[in-house]
Structure 1
Amino acid sequence: MKKVNAKYKKRQSDIVTICQRVIENMENNPAFPNPPAALAELKKVLPEFQNALVKAEGRDKQMVSIKNDKKAIVLAYLQELSDYVTVTCNNDRTLILGSGFDATNEIIGSSYPTPSIEILEVELGAPGEVTTRAKKVSGIVAYVHQYTKELPSINTEWIGIGSNQNSHTFEGLISDKRYWFRIVAIGTDGRRGYSPVVSKVIQ
């Protein structure tokens, strides 16, 4: 059985164009009435990625590292949006193309395993700071570190930061308030795996 998926090219030379096309096509599009927060976050981080690309042209190691970090964040947001488009369009190739993404057929039953995070470490730091960390697993191309201020349910809106790192430190959280944390692992073929949810009261 074949499934029509929203896809995009991950070549660095294509990423900016793809982001611009997706943002333009998905904003205020009635076919996508409730896009995830990743759309607004992508619009915000795209200029930062473009600036990092320019600064990395001189091959300065620090600038290249910054560029790579921004690239990982952009790709994580693109993946979240492509997953949303795939589910929303329900195998409608025309609707998928209307989102700005490409559309490809995938035979259900991929040879890639679903990413798995069995243990999530949540470490309290300085006041208002928390670090989420997962054990590195092969086949994962990006992570999305997430938190919410409410008891998680099926309708919970998670706040997330995309990264190519398996750990991330959140800052500016409210002291003496309970938060819930998780990490989303994104695999080579776009499959997602979720860590257990861990709750902490912030210092």
Structure 2
Amino acid sequence: MSRPKILNNLEKLNDSALSTMAQHIINSLTGNSYFPALTPSLDEVTTVKKEFDDSLIAAQTGDRVKIAIKNEKRTNLIDILHRLARCVEMVANGNRSILLSSGFEVSKERSSTTELEIPENLKIMDGNASGEIYVCCDSVQGARSYVFEYTLDPLANESSWTSQTTTKSEFIIKGLIPGKKYWVRVIAIGSNDQRTVSAPVSRYA
């Protein structure tokens, strides 16, 4: 799975949402045993947040100077929250539960491994020459290669399989003994080496 991280999206929040998010983070970190000491401290963050809140109220008059001051205080709050986020990430060291406890928004959990479906609709037909059979199956989404395996009848747990690998979901198996019955199966292989195996089917060469 990918390493979780704090989302860097504070700049996208409007003033009211930014203030709310900052307070949520402060509340979440206050008394949080995972973060006994933070740099910047929660007292510093609280002070900067209060300065922004006060400037936000003052800017409601529409005065351009007060609006400029509010924008400056907003930048200061975002900056100190980013610094705090870096400290939180360092302490959490990739632990999603600890990151979530901080109150910051965290990237969604993603799996680096895609589940592969089992190869289906396996078909075997005569090849162009004696001792050849053509094998194909439905393409498997996410598969980077296919392993076509075959063994002589009778099929048993201790059967020895011969393998041929290709990037396509079809293959011509050559060098078989004419008149002999063979069992064939297909293994789909994903980008992270995950594997699924089809049910075996049989045919005479």
With the length of structure 1 as denominator, give the TM-score of the two structures: 0.48
Select the structure with the greater relative contact order (CA < 8 A; seq sep ≥ 6).
1
The structure with the largest alpha-carbon Rg is: 2
Name whichever structure is richer in strand by fraction. 1
